[in-house]
């Protein structure tokens, strides 16, 4: 596999983006619970990020939001009748479940699936395993529709293998690429895959199970000696690191992490180093020490939740959230990385609407390595060309509200608006089958 590139598939933010405070262990989401959201701004901020990456010469795609509310879920819970009656009864009898049914958390496509490039798999196909997201009710609703989206975008079975989610059982929690990093010499060459699972915190539960990560490696046909499993430290989980991508990020041979990310830090690093050495992957492991900045600043700034992107000249640049500028020690650390040549540059973008729910730049994208033939086999409507981004922006301006409070989730007009927007999105993508994913 030569001339492979990394694609970023961002999640298009849905019309029902809200602050429902549903994500346990996610400090930003808990802190903003009950605030009024601006779905239109959220979606436009996401599109602006896609445009920035696309303009930098990188390959960009997007995944549609699932239809909301999730009527299957509400009907399965026993709410019956016309849409207004279902929403009313759910608002009265099970408001938390109603909020889950409306969740727009699918925007964070780093949790959509775990992806193994063709160069790493024993059958030479790209493998994608839909994440079960079983640790939180509102997120566990995503995989049903998401599987349909991934089967549509990556439909060419000779090149792509889309796997159904693992059973959503205790001990098999899987949150997708947010807990997975691939290291390689270059995108098209065989790499090492780092899977991170959780230790039990005192305050918060771990979301990713080791057994799930191991199952993904088996399904994807990965060579065991090219897989490493690292345990997140309980201290990190308790400090608000609900996914590994809140505390570490990698690109090709570069791995940035906070020193307190893993249970046995020296061993974690040694294992990744050994696997990379054996695989011929030139690893540059860069740690921020607790003196550089504490765990609390890593979580507050979301610096590790940045995108590390190919600068086209063999180097890596960092696209981070604007919030990190409020943390002088984090900024100093980034400046130092540029001085040392670890990064060629860094910049930030305003993603406030997503950030207030604990979703930074890295959460909003799913990385997929594709060669030219793989790229040609994608669903064309999911490719974020400049024209498609213009069309998406116009679509958002036409269909989205700029104010959404939790009381609005009982409004049947919002459900109607979502259905109409989904219909228009299917047309915009030239993909009528989107409407069958509901």
User: Which part of the chain contacts ligand SUG (CB under 6 A), choosing from 156-164, 290-298, 351-359, 395-403?
Assistant: 351-359
**Furthest-apart CA pair in the chain: how many Å?**
63
- From the list 357, 368, 384, 388, which residue makes contact with ligand SUG (rule: CB under 6 A)? 357
Q: Least distance from C-beta 359 to ligand SUG, angstroms?
A: 4
User: Which part of the chain contacts ligand SUG (CB under 6 A), choosing from 143-151, 188-196, 354-362, 392-400?
Assistant: 354-362
Q: Is 245 in the site for ligand SUG (CB under 6 A)?
A: yes
User: Which part of the chain contacts ligand SUG (CB under 6 A), choosing from 57-65, 107-115, 272-280, 323-331?
Assistant: 107-115
Catalytic residue among 227, 363, 418, 437: 363
User: Which of residues 105 and 308 has its CB atom nearest to ligand SUG in the complex?
Assistant: 105
Question: From CA 260, how far away is CA 290, in angstroms rounded?
Answer: 7
Structure tokens at 72: 């299957």
Q: Least distance from C-beta 189 to ligand SUG, angstroms?
A: 26
CA dihedral for 209, 109, 363, 360, sign (positive or negative): negative
Question: From CA 383, how far away is CA 376, in angstroms rounded?
Answer: 10
**Contact mark string toward ligand SUG, 109..148, x via CB under 6 A:** -xx---------------------------x---------
Q: Which of residues 75-94 bind ligand SUG (CB under 6 A)?
A: none
Q: Residue 28: which residues within 8 A CB-CB, separation 6 or more?
A: 240, 355, 356, 357, 358
Question: From CA 373, how far away is CA 126, in angstroms rounded?
Answer: 12
Q: Is 216 in the site for ligand SUG (CB under 6 A)?
A: no
- From the list 79, 102, 108, 195, which residue makes contact with ligand SUG (rule: CB under 6 A)? 108
CA dihedral for 53, 242, 268, 123, sign (positive or negative): negative
Alpha-helix runs per DSSP H in 77-193: 83-93, 95-101, 137-140, 142-153
Is residue 50 within 8 A of residue 7, CB to CB? The reply is: no
- Element counts in the chain: helices (H) and strands (E): 16, 15
Does 243 participate in catalysis according to the annotation?
yes
User: Which part of the chain contacts ligand SUG (CB under 6 A), choosing from 20-28, 226-234, 279-287, 404-412?
Assistant: 20-28
Q: Is 212 in the site for ligand SUG (CB under 6 A)?
A: no
User: Which of residues 25 and 374 has its CB atom nearest to ligand SUG in the complex?
Assistant: 25
Does 363 participate in catalysis according to the annotation?
yes
Size, binding site for ligand SUG by CB under 6 A: 21
CA-to-CA separations, 179 to 64, 110, 131, 203, 426, in angstroms, rounded: 22, 9, 11, 20, 31
Q: Least distance from C-beta 362 to ligand SUG, angstroms?
A: 6
Q: Residue 241: which residues within 8 A CB-CB, separation 6 or more?
A: 232, 247, 261, 295, 298, 299
CA-to-CA separations, 421 to 13, 19, 65, in angstroms, rounded: 12, 21, 10
Q: Is 236 in the site for ligand SUG (CB under 6 A)?
A: no
Does 264 participate in catalysis according to the annotation?
no
Catalytic residue among 6, 147, 175, 231: 175
Structure tokens at 36: 């009024």
Q: What angle do CA 223, 367, 50 make, to 5 degrees?
A: 175
Residue at token pair 């940045």:
306
Q: Least distance from C-beta 205 to ligand SUG, angstroms?
A: 12
The helix (H) or strand (E) run that includes residue 116 is: strand 113-116
Q: Which of residues 21-40 bind ligand SUG (CB under 6 A)?
A: 21-23, 26, 29
User: Which of residues 136 and 348 has its CB atom nearest to ligand SUG in the complex?
Assistant: 136
User: Which part of the chain contacts ligand SUG (CB under 6 A), choosing from 115-123, 161-169, 208-216, 237-245?
Assistant: 237-245
Query: What does the binding site for ligand SUG look like in residue numbers (CB under 6 A)?
Result: 19-23, 26, 29, 105, 108, 110-111, 139, 178, 242-243, 245-246, 357-359, 363
| Catalytically active residues, by annotation | 175, 243, 363
């Amino acid at each position: 596999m030569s001339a492979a590139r990394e694609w970023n598939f961002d999640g298009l933010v849905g019309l029902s983006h809200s602050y429902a405070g549903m994500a346990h262990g996610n400090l930003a989401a808990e802190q903003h619970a009950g605030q009024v959201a601006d779905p239109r701004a959220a979606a436009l901020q996401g599109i602006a990020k896609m445009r920035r990456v696309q303009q930098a010469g990188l390959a960009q795609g997007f995944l549609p939001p699932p239809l909301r509310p999730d009527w299957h879920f509400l009907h399965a819970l026993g709410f019956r009748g016309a849409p207004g009656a279902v929403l009313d009864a759910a608002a009265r009898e099970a408001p938390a479940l109603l909020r889950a049914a409306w969740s727009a958390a699918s925007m964070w496509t780093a949790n959509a699936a775990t992806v193994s490039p063709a160069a790493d798999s024993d059958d030479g196909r790209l493998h994608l395993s839909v994440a079960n997201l079983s640790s939180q009710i509102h997120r566990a609703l995503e995989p049903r529709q998401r599987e349909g989206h991934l089967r549509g975008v990556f439909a060419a079975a000779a090149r792509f293998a889309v796997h159904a989610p693992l059973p959503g059982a205790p001990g098999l929690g899987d949150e997708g690429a947010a807990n997975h990093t691939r290291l390689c010499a270059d995108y098209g060459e065989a790499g090492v895959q780092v899977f991170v699972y959780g230790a039990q915190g005192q305050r918060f539960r771990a979301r990713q199970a080791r057994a799930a990560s191991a199952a993904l490696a088996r399904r994807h046909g990965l060579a065991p000696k090219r897989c490493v499993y690292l345990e997140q430290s309980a201290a990190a989980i308790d400090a608000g690191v609900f996914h590994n991508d809140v505390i570490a990020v990698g690109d090709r041979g570069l791995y940035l992490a906070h020193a307190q990310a893993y249970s046995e830090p020296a061993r974690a690093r040694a294992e990744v180093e050994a696997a990379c050495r054996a695989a011929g992957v030139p690893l540059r492991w860069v740690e921020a020490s607790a003196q550089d900045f504490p765990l609390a600043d890593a979580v507050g700034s979301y610096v590790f939740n940045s995108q590390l992107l190919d600068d086209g000249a063999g180097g890596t640049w960092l696209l981070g959230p604007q919030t990190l500028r409020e943390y002088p020690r984090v900024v100093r650390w980034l400046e130092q990385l540029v001085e040392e040549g670890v990064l060629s540059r860094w910049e930030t973008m305003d993603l406030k609407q997503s950030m207030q729910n604990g979703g930074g730049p890295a959460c909003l994208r799913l990385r997929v390595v594709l060669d030219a033939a793989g790229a040609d086999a994608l669903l064309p409507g999911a490719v974020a060309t400049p024209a498609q981004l213009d069309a998406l922006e116009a679509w958002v301006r036409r269909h989205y509200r700029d104010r959404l409070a939790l009381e609005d989730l009982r409004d049947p007009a919002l459900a109607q608006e979502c259905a109409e927007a989904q219909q228009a999105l299917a047309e915009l993508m030239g993909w009528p089958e989107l409407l069958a994913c509901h």
